[in-house]
């Protein structure tokens, strides 16, 4: 997906929000934002929003000297999700279709997105999502493919969200004979996405067939090509989050997209309303 003016404005707001989470001198924030705005004015708009944002966070790391400006926020998001973990696990276990409910819970976790807003209510979103159906719903096709699959790749998205993703992964493992599940994360800090450094703080107990792979997400790297190379050989590829949708929607890679629609640009592409949930195969 190419980046339009609304994407650029959103990226700019996200950068400012990330900088203000730190106790930086106002002059440092202003100087860094000037560099970011110059970058955004000149960057190739044919790049996806995620790819452009990689460059923004490279600028932030370089100018502030802080490796991960949203590290504390990511830890908070994971803790908030863990507080709900037993509650949603019980809902999944007691439901009539535990796989479907685990997928909806994983989609609900996508609300944990500081790139869009710092103000969200995870508990409220979980309850709302459990009461609605995806407006694009390829669940039955996903079930069909799971019954024949031995290798799955999942592109992870946000901190907090990853906790609910693990519940979905555990449910897939309980119901199907999957030999290997690859979880793709980013190598370098980017927004509040899960990255390589965050993995040690996440409990993967009970998921013995899971392998975590970190992909280089610097601006000078062809990230899409890196993803294509990494997912090769997988029977199913699940892409979590709107950012991964924006990144890979036009690539025709036969992917399952799981996310909440959070902006007008994406709602226009899919002809759906903001706030709707998506379980789409493309």
Q: How is the chain split into domains, by residue range?
A: 5-64, 71-281
- The pLDDT score that the predictor gives to residue 158 is 96
CATH number corresponding to 71-281: 3.40.50.10880
pTM value? 0.95
- Within 13 Å of residue 169, how many CA atoms lie on the same side as its CB? 30
How confident is the model at residue 200, as a pLDDT? 87
pLDDT at 101: 98
Burial class of 271 by CB neighbour count within 10 A (0 to 12, 13 to 18, 19+): exposed
Going by their DSSP bridges, the two strands 256-260 and 136-137 should be labelled as unpaired
Q: For 173, phi and psi rounded to 5 degrees? A: -65, -35
Q: What are phi and psi of 58, to 5 degrees?
A: -65, -40
From first to last of the 282 residues of the chain, give the pLDDT tens digit: 899 999 999 999 999 999 998 889 999 999 999 999 999 999 999 999 999 999 999 999 999 999 999 999 999 999 999 999 999 999 999 999 999 999 999 999 999 987 777 788 999 999 999 999 999 999 999 999 999 999 999 999 999 999 999 999 999 999 999 999 999 999 999 999 999 999 988 999 999 999 999 999 998 999 999 999 999 999 999 999 999 999 999 999 999 999 999 999 999 999 999 999 999 999
């Amino acid at each position: 997906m190419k980046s339009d003016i609304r994407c650029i404005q959103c990226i700019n707001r996200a950068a400012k929000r990330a900088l203000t989470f730190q106790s930086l001198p106002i002059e440092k924030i202003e100087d860094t934002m000037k560099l970011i705005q110059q970058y955004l004015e000149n960057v190739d708009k044919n790049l996806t929003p995620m790819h452009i944002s990689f460059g923004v966070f490279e600028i932030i790391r370089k100018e502030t000297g802080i490796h991960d400006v949203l590290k504390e926020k990511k830890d908070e998001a994971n803790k908030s999700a863990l507080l709900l973990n037993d509650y949603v696990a019980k809902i999944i276990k007691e439901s009539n279709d535990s796989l479907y409910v685990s997928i909806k819970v994983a989609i609900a976790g996508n609300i944990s997105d500081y790139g869009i807003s710092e103000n969200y209510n995870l508990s409220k979103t979980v309850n709302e999502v459990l009461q609605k159906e995806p407006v694009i719903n390829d669940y039955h096709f996903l079930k069909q493919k799971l019954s024949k699959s031995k290798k799955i790749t999942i592109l992870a998205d946000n901190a907090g969200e990853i906790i609910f993703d693990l519940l979905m992964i555990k449910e897939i493992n309980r119901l199907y004979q999957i030999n290997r599940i690859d979880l793709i994360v980013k190598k370098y800090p980017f927004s509040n996405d899960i990255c390589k450094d965050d993995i040690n703080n996440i409990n993967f107990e009970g998921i013995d067939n899971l392998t975590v792979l970190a992909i280089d997400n610097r601006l000078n790297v062809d990230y899409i090509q890196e993803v294509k190379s990494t997912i090769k050989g997988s029977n199913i590829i699940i892409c979590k989050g709107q950012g991964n949708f924006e990144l890979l929607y036009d690539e025709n890679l036969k992917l399952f997209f799981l996310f909440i629609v959070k902006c007008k640009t994406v709602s226009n592409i899919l002809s759906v309303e903001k706030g709707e949930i998506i379980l789409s195969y493309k």
